[in-house]
Amino acid sequence: MEETMIVQPVRLHELIQDKLIQAGLKEEHADTVAEHLVFADACGIHSHGAVRVDYYAERIAKGGVTTDPQITFERTGASTGIVHGDNGVGQYVALRALEYAIDQAKESGAAIVGVKRISHCGALSYYVKRAAEENLIAISMCQSDPMVVPFGGSENYFGTNPIAFAAPREYGAPVVFDMATTVQAWGKILDARSKNQDIPDTWAVDVNGQPTTNPHEVNGLLPMAGPKGFGLMMMVDVLSGILLGLPFGKNVSSMYNDLTEKRNLGQLFILIDPRRFTDLPSFKHSIETMIGELHDIAPAAGFKQVYYPGETNQVKYDQYMAEGIPVAKRVLDYLESTTIHFDQYGETGSFATK
């Protein structure tokens, strides 16, 4: 197992921001991305944290991200709109879109806002949590490049196509969960590579379609729960791709193939103001009651307690933000070096392998 180091959140933020500025991002955009990646690492979602900086820096430096995007909001109805992202860095564009969606949901009771033409936007939990902190229910989803073997098929078609949900509660941080529609997200495999760890043989298949435990041999991911995950990933691609007039399925651009090209990805936010359906204190109290009832359930053998979905990420966040965030030493060495990127991703296909 690769050595990890404990880094204080402020220091990690500074290192990430500086590296992205060196790659060509504006300070404000780099600051937003750094905040997002630190959040992911603090939640224990290391697959979407600092390990991504090298890839982001290479794509930015090679022109695959618009560093001065002209972001516009097109209001298409009382509760609908489209943010045109001009292929700016995903975390910055998506955050701007979320701000439009929050304002619209508070004004009209609900908002459905599509984000059109962005780069990789990172962990969706970051966005829905922010919306829930504004006392809104939030759902977000985004498409990704084809790396999943469809149920019953032998060739990749859909992406990992994640979905995230959040809701405010009476006490404490909002309820948040974020999941890929595959057995495991590609970022988890990328994290395993960075740590030289094997993966379970239920996550992915190799070039011959056979289960593999070697993260470097992955050639196709598997949908969670077979046809159920397959259906969900199709839904995500329809709502965040086809609905916005963007490429879909096997036509979605590759994350790692040509880093000089813009990615033209799509994302969708669905926000609901619970006050349009019930009174807010009652809603938040019921969420709190549900959490308490889940905690009161006797745990199964081998478990300490029942957690609500996503709760363990919040537990890690509270701990790591107070005590420091574990980061792979190899990743930290890169962030502290003068190297902008390692020039290792171009023309490597969906799985970053030559």
| 194 pLDDT tier (thresholds 50, 70, 90) | confident
Write down the mean pLDDT value for the chain.
Answer: 95
- Specify the pLDDT at position 192: 87
Residue 354 has pLDDT above 60, yes or no: no
Looking up residue 231, the CATH number of its domain turns out to be 3.30.1370.60
- Specify the pLDDT at position 187: 76
Determine the average pLDDT of the residues in 148-171. Answer: 94
Query: Is the residue at 215 inside a domain?
Result: yes
Query: Is the residue at 336 inside a domain?
Result: no
- Specify the pLDDT at position 189: 87
Query: Is the residue at 127 inside a domain?
Result: yes
Determine the average pLDDT of the residues in 272-293. Answer: 98
Q: What are phi and psi of 142, to 5 degrees?
A: -150, 155
**C-alpha distances in Å from residue 208, one per residue of 150, 182, 199, 205, 211:** 15, 19, 17, 7, 9
Residue 180 has pLDDT above 80, yes or no: yes
Per the CB < 8 A criterion, the answer to whether 221 and 206 are in contact is no
Name the domain count of the chain: 1
What amino acid is encoded at 131 in this protein?
Answer: A
pLDDT tens-digit readout, 290-346: 999 999 999 999 999 999 999 999 999 999 999 999 999 999 999 999 999 999 987
Active site (catalytic) residues: 120
Structure-model confidence comparison of residues 351 and 164, the more confident one:
164
- Specify the pLDDT at position 349: 67
- Specify the pLDDT at position 353: 62
pLDDT tens-digit readout, 195-246: 789 999 999 999 888 899 999 999 999 999 999 999 999 999 999 999 999 9
Query: Is the residue at 155 inside a domain?
Result: yes
Please tell me what DSSP assigns to residue 335: H
pLDDT tens-digit readout, 98-143: 999 999 999 999 999 999 999 999 999 999 999 999 999 999 999 9
- Specify the pLDDT at position 137: 99
**C-alpha distances in Å from residue 19, one per residue of 31, 35, 57, 218:** 11, 13, 7, 29
- Specify the pLDDT at position 208: 86
Query: Is the residue at 268 inside a domain?
Result: yes
Query: Is the residue at 37 inside a domain?
Result: no
Query: Is the residue at 1 inside a domain?
Result: no
Query: Is the residue at 198 inside a domain?
Result: yes
* Residue whose C-alpha is closest to residue 197's, from 316, 313, 47, 334: 47
CA–CA separation, 186 and 135 (whole Å):
31
CA–CA separation, 31 and 13 (whole Å):
8
Residue 41 has pLDDT above 80, yes or no: yes
Print the domain residue range for 226: 69-286+309-321
- Specify the pLDDT at position 1: 63
